[in-house]
Amino acid sequence: MGLMRRYILIVYAGMLLSACHSKKLPSDKRNNAIASADVIIASPRNISNIVEANGTVVANEYVQLHPEASGRITYLNVPEGVFVNQGTIIARINDADLQAQLSKSKVQLELAVKTEERLKKLLAINGINQADYDSALNQLQSIQTDIAYYQALIDKTVVKAPFSGTVGLRLVSIGAYVTPADVIASIQQLNTLKIDFTLPESYGTLVHKGNVVSVELDATDTIKQRATIVAVEPQANTITRNLKVRATLQNTKTHPGSFVKVYIDAGENKHAIMVPTNALIPNDQNNQVVILKNGRAKFVSVETGIRQAANVEITKGISEGDSVLVTGVLFARPDAVIKVNSVKTL
């Protein structure tokens, strides 16, 4: 009877192992399941050699107006949205204590001047010794220094427009207690605007000081404006490998902070392999695309060139005639079997 039980247990264990093995098979089949995707055949096509870049409008000059001294605002002149000239007084901080100290020092100065003049005459006739005169002269110079010091503190209680420009919104009220950390208002110089944009460092040869670029301020604009490049950041961004470029734009009604499109002429039109941007897999080190080799997915590193609204140029990594996946890219796995649904065109 004991042998029979053992036999039954062995048979039962074998059945369990067989069942577990059979349950794994669908999973393996799923791993090797045939995926389907659309592809595009890589082929050179004639493209406009215009490089597009995104930019931001920046005021020619911009500053937030902070008081240099802490205190209560006794005078406030913030004409919101109005042009003011350089040196216009925007605000005054209570300086009553400093004015009192200044007045006191001026009275002391008058007495010190008279004392110094009298002792100087006495010194000339040997009526006093040199030490007495030097003490009086030192007192005079000390008071003069105090006056200059108090005047400097008083000057710091006045907030002036550092340049001619348009004043922004008022952020404080008269009578408020402010510190150097508080912003009273902002001022911007809008007669000339700057446009900051970035380009891949591979296009560094296209941008030089004095070059003219086309700018689209609004998607509804039918006429692009011209901007002149004034500077190129010498160092590329270590993360994006992009260069920062600055251009100036004259006589425009756009506002600082607005988004613009910048178009740079890279020379004559050329033949290039283009793929949809959704075929590109971005990576920290490089970009990749998935191509089909003998019906299986193969990941290849590529270098990119000109970017358009929906397509990107591939300058290195794939060849004419390669089948490039344009759908299901993010779900593809290396060496996976791929079934082609359809061949797309740009």
pLDDT for 7: 44
Do both 248 and 202 map to the same domain?
Answer: yes
Q: How many domains does the chain have?
A: 3
The three-class DSSP label of residue 27 is helix
Sign, Cα dihedral of 107, 109, 113, 118: positive
What CATH number did the domain enclosing 237 receive?
2.40.30.170
**Residue linked to tokens 């427009």:** 161
**Residue 296: which CATH number?**
2.40.420.20
Extract the tokens encoding 207.
Answer: 């941008």
Q: What is the pLDDT of residue 299?
A: 93
Final residue before a domain boundary, out of 265, 300, 325: 265
Q: Is residue 4 part of a domain?
A: no
In a domain, 95, yes or no: yes
**Whether 234 and 333 share a structural domain:** no
Question: In 3-state terms, the chain is what percent helix, strand and coil (to 5)?
Answer: 30, 40, 30
Pick the closest to residue 264 from 216, 298, 301 (CA basis). 216
pLDDT at 329: 87
Instruction: Write phi, then psi, for 237 (nearest 5 degrees).
Output: -65, 130
0.95 surpassed by pTM:
no
Token code pair at residue 121: 């005459």
Instruction: Look up residue 35 and give its two tokens.
Output: 């995926």
Answer yes or no: do 121 and 77 share one domain: yes
Q: Are residues 276 and 333 in the same domain?
A: yes
Does a structural domain hold residue 110? Answer: yes
Per-residue pLDDT of the chain (346 residues; tens, 9 = 90+): 454 455 444 445 454 444 444 444 344 444 455 678 899 999 888 877 788 899 999 999 999 999 999 999 999 999 999 999 999 999 999 999 999 999 999 999 999 999 999 999 999 998 899 999 999 999 999 999 999 999 999 999 999 999 999 999 999 999 999 999 999 999 999 999 999 999 988 888 889 999 999 999 876 666 789 999 999 999 988 888 889 999 999 877 889 999 999 999 877 656 788 999 989 988 767 889 999 999 899 999 998 877 777 888 898 899 899 999 999 888 888 999 988 888 888 6
Write out the residue range of the structural domain in which residue 279 sits: 35-47+270-344
Which region holds residue 267: left if phi is over 0, alpha if psi is between -120 and 50, else beta? left
For residue 22, what pLDDT is reported? Answer: 44
Q: How far is 140 from 143, CA to CA, in rounded Å?
A: 5
Q: Within this chain, do residues 218 and 156 fall inside the same structural domain, yes or no?
A: no
Q: Assess whether 209 and 132 both reside in one domain.
A: no
Residue 206 lies in a domain: yes
pLDDT of residue 23: 43
Q: Is residue 25 part of a domain?
A: no
Q: What is the DSSP string of 254-323?
A: --TT-EEEEEEE-SS-EEEEEEEGGG-B--SS-EEEEEEETTEEEEEEEEEEEE-SSEEEEEES--TT-E
**CATH of residue 115:** 1.10.287.470
Task: Please say whether the beta carbons of 197 and 53 come within 8 A.
Answer: yes
